[in-house]
Amino acid sequence: MFRNQIDFAILDFNTFTGEYENINKSMAHGAEVELQGRPLSRLSFDLAYNYTSTQILEQPFAFDPLHVPGQPLLRRPKHSGSLLLNYIAKPWGGNIGATLVGRRPDSDFIGLNINHAAGYARVDLGGWFALNSRITAYANVENALDKYYNEVVGYPALTANFRAGLRFRIGAE
């Protein structure tokens, strides 16, 4: 049970002026299941699934229809999950990860009747190589399949992007 959450509501779609609203009471419940394993000495996996159900319970002065009692809270997917596979062999390793997020309530807040954000799947890749006991080079590719998606309506996520660098270990082993 949550009390006194703050959200924004647009009052005039011509000037895009609005005000903050207090959502007096809302509820969220769900379940999370995680499975970890090591089928081979060098291979491990982590699989997770989340189910979340939300609802606004009390909002006596709702200016926005998205905030009336009975509506779900925005941007909370009912279903989401992830998978991470790791391969570790000295002096290198790699991983592949997948993030899956289901359709979720959202809004454009300007009257275009967009009331949800589409679900998406994202794949990330990574690898590393230990140059010595204190320096490790790494490289990651996020959104490796270069899929277009929105985490929030109207704000596209990054396309495929690459990051590389060095990690320095200071102190005890």
Quick check: 107 and 153 in contact, CB under 8 A?
Answer: yes
Instruction: Retrieve residue 32's tokens.
Output: 């999370």
Instruction: Retrieve residue 96's tokens.
Output: 């592949």
The answer as to whether 43 is a domain residue is: yes
Domains contained in the chain, number: 1
Q: Which residues pair with 55 in a beta bridge?
A: 27
Q: CB-based contacts of 172: which residues, under 8 Å, 6+ apart?
A: none
Tell me the pLDDT tens digit for each residue of 107-127.
Answer: 877 667 788 899 999 999 999
Tell me the pLDDT tens digit for each residue of 81-108.
Answer: 999 999 999 899 999 999 999 999 988 7
The answer as to whether 8 is a domain residue is: no
The residue with greater pLDDT, 53 or 173, is 53
pLDDT over threshold 90, residue 63:
no
The answer as to whether 158 is a domain residue is: yes
Distances (CA, A) of 68 to 111, 116, 160: 17, 16, 38
What distance in Å separates the CA atoms of residue 138 and residue 115, rounded to the nearest whole number?
40
The answer as to whether 2 is a domain residue is: no
Residue 68 has what pLDDT?
Answer: 82
Q: What is the mean pLDDT of the chain?
A: 89
**Structure pTM?**
0.81
Domain that holds residue 118: 26-168
The answer as to whether 122 is a domain residue is: yes
Residue 142 has what pLDDT?
Answer: 97
The answer as to whether 95 is a domain residue is: yes
The answer as to whether 5 is a domain residue is: no
Residue 96 has what pLDDT?
Answer: 98
Residue 108 has what pLDDT?
Answer: 76
Residue 12 has what pLDDT?
Answer: 66
The answer as to whether 7 is a domain residue is: no
